[in-house]
Structure 1
Amino acid sequence: MINPIAFQIGPFAIHWYAICIVSGLLLAVYLAMREGAKKGISSDDILDFILIAFPLAIIGARIYYVIFQWSYYSQNPSEIIAIWNGGIAIYGGLITGAIVLYYFSRYRFINPIDFLDIAAPGVMIAQAIGRWGNFINQEAYGKAVKSLDYLPDFIKNQMYIDGAYRTPTFLYESLWNLLGFIIIMIVRRRPNFLKQGEVAFFYLIWYGCGRFVIEGMRTDSLMLAGLRVSQWVSVVLVLAGLGLFIWRRRQKDIPYYQTK
């Protein structure tokens, strides 16, 4: 089993979970800054946005998780802030981040659709990296299986939980996001292929479809009305992405995605 603490400096323990999240964030910021420069969005705007949005997104992700696990946290209120043990819901973070992005864009006179387009690929690769934090914490896994011989030993051994090998759903989602990232990085460079906003819409559709399927494999999901909460949200994302994609395609005055 991998120690969830990467290293310790005096009384401060640095968790692998945090390292995965911060590493994904830094890569996402780098990609957004590089693409933003081509679309006339300054690095200062992106950094200012991250400084505001990231802590609020973490809080939103935790609140989302705690709400749907309130039966536990109401009995253990001291653990509500213990995010180093896991338990942040990406959808809570995405919803919070989207709200912050909208108001930040309006305040800085940036087209929020352009901002979403440059942010979406970075978010996707950040999620791919962040899922390895779940791996270290032995969470976000699926049902018991007989063996995981098709995987490297370090993954197989870490997925031996409560006396059985568990389906590595964290890995499936990480690979799905990585594939989506590669696809969107390639197709957005094709001239007159995607219209403004469709990079973000692709993210909604791609991530929503993958998350709906993979979430159905998990055994530790938050439940609501017979389905996992994340599956309900995934359906909304996919429908929203498809609807927006169709609507934009019908608008004759929508420019194609392009950079300066």
Structure 2
Amino acid sequence: MTLTLLLDILAPSVLLAQSIGRWGNFINQEAHGGAVSRQFLETLYLPEFIIEQMNINGTYYHPSFLYESLWSLLGFILLIILRNQKGLLRRGEVALSYVIWYSFGRFFIEGMRTDSLWIGDIMRVSQMLSLVLFISAILLLVYRRRDYPSKPFYSENLKLSKK
């Protein structure tokens, strides 16, 4: 099994794991966004237990953990659908799609957080990393498609099997 095949198999599961893992931030009341009003949280139609957990020392905060959890879950579903479409993706492109998807969402969600490391006063470190990964993955995808057009498309669902 090649590394690219292994990464393609693992990528959707990593998104699912990240979606579940973000709930640890919820339980620990960490990695939240900026202060908001209770009314704002109610306009999101969140369950009461989420609204109450976002009340930290008398201040309500953006549930950025939830945004990232839902983003990752949506990405998981999307990658499963895309990788099961015959003739759409080539080997390595599921993993590249993961990097593109996750870094795009993380760039915006990170902008809401209050506990980020900064590069001076310019940009958050995580946003810069997300931007670099997003651009790099797109360029690599374009490069692979342009310079290696003979790479085969997936013709069946990805699965581990002995041949």
Q: Same fold (TM over 0.5)?
A: yes
Say whether residues 1:255 and 2:152 are aligned partners.
Answer: yes
Identity %: 55
- Consecutive unaligned residues of structure 2, counting only runs of 5 or more, are none
**RMSD (Å) for aligned C-alpha atoms:** 1.2
Name the counterpart of 2:109. 214
Say whether residues 1:205 and 2:100 are aligned partners.
Answer: yes
Say whether residues 1:235 and 2:131 are aligned partners.
Answer: yes
1:129 aligned to which of 3, 12, 20: 20
Q: Which has the higher contact order (CA 8 A, sep 6+)?
A: 2
Matched to 2:98, the amino acid is Y
Name the counterpart of 1:166. 61
Q: Secondary structure at the match of 2:60?
A: strand
Name the counterpart of 1:120. 11
1:181 aligned to which of 70, 76, 90: 76
- How does 1:20-35 map onto structure 2 within 5 Å? none
Name the counterpart of 2:31. 140
Residue-pair matches, total: 151
Name the counterpart of 1:57. none
Determine if contact 1:135/1:170 at 8 Å carries over to the other structure.
yes
TM-score using structure 2 length? 0.89
Distance 2:81 2:94 in 1: 11
Distance 2:154 2:30 in 1: 38
TM-score using structure 1 length? 0.56
Distance 1:247 1:183 in 2: 23
- Residues 127-150 of structure 1 show CA distances to partners (whole Å, capped at 9, x for unaligned) of 000000000000010111112112
Matched to 1:144, the amino acid is A
Shift of 1:257: 2.5
Structure 1 segments, 4+ long, off by >4 Å, are: none
Distance 2:151 2:75 in 1: 24
Shift of 1:187: 1.4
Name the counterpart of 1:41. none
- Residues 49-97 of structure 1 show CA distances to partners (whole Å, capped at 9, x for unaligned) of xxxxxxxxxxxxxxxxxxxxxxxxxxxxxxxxxxxxxxxxxxxxxxxxx
Determine if contact 1:114/1:197 at 8 Å carries over to the other structure.
yes
Matched to 1:113, the amino acid is T
